[in-house]
Amino acid sequence: MTSMLYISVSCQASFTSRVRGPTVEDVRSRVKELRTEQGISQQALATAVGVSRQTINAIETGRYDPSLTLAVHLARHFGSTVEEVFDVDG
Amino acid sequence: MSMDDAGESAESARRPNWPMSPVNTVLVAVMTVGSLVCFVLGQSIAGTALLLGGIGGGLGAIFARRGSSGDLERVNALEYADERDRAAAVKGLAAVGAVAMVLGAGQLILHVIIRADPISRWSSIVLFLALTACWFVANWYYVRKG
């Protein structure tokens, strides 16, 4: 049973490494730039889009990729498109 | 309506007036009822432990719901405020599951080697099989769900 578990985990890890998509490092966010242009705080932006201040900070510093829903909410808040707010290398 | 007003409205709509999440409500209720049962059965030490656990969990949940609470406090207290908290909790619980499977396998092997009593051996086998089955079912469900 243990060997079966090991083989399964190994296969999953191998598969994951082959099909891995863009990572956090590949996504550049303009959230900080757009927020500064609007002259609002991280807390104000966070409450406007319904997340915590820490999440806005994590997005701005590249530690967190927002979901599609949150990305759309952020883009709508700034009056732009998702692609204008988030840039993915490629 | 200012932006902050709009934010507060969204926040209050997202978080009902009840001071803790449904999961914490169930956990606190189970611990409180469990402690009462223990006291009725004369198991005062277990009852006290469960009561303290319930009080601690409840206070932790209420504390984590404050507007100024940190993300780590919220995730530890099962009081998720947004998608990032939930994503962190999912990864944390996944790590717990992986460690539980490894430790469960280790316990099973150890019990076989030291020829532990049948109850211990069977409980190890059942635990390990249950964790493995849970893993396969969860994989099947979430792969199918997409």
User: What is the predicted ipTM?
Assistant: 0.70
pLDDT at B74 over 60: yes
Task: Please tell me the distance from the alpha carbon of residue A28 to that of residue A41, in angstroms, as a whole number.
Answer: 20
Q: How confident is the model at residue B114 (pLDDT cuts 50, 70, 90)?
A: very high
Question: Worst-scoring range by mean pLDDT, A25-29, A30-34, A47-51, B46-50?
Answer: A25-29
Task: Please tell me the distance from the alpha carbon of residue A80 to that of residue A86, in angstroms, as a whole number.
Answer: 11
Q: Supply the pTM of this predicted model.
A: 0.73
* For residues B33-51, average pLDDT: 95
A45, A51, A73, best to mutate vs chain B, most B CBs in 10 Å: A51
In the 3-class helix/strand/coil scheme, how is chain B assigned residue by residue?
Answer: CCHHHHHHHHHHHHCCCCCCCHHHHHHHHHHHHHHHHHHHCCCHHHHHHHHHHHHHHHHHHHHHCCCCCCHHHHHHCCCCCCHHHHHHHHHHHHHHHHHHHHHHHHHHHHHHHCCCCHHHHHHHHHHHHHHHHHHHHHHHHHHHHC
Q: How far is A80 from chain B (nearest CA, A)?
A: 18
pLDDT at B111 over 80: yes
Which one of A5, A44, A66 has the shortest CB-CB distance to B7?
Answer: A44
A22 closest CA partner among A62, A51, A49: A62
Tell if the CB–CB gap between A55 and B83 is shorter than 8 Å: yes
Q: How confident is the model at residue B69 (pLDDT cuts 50, 70, 90)?
A: confident
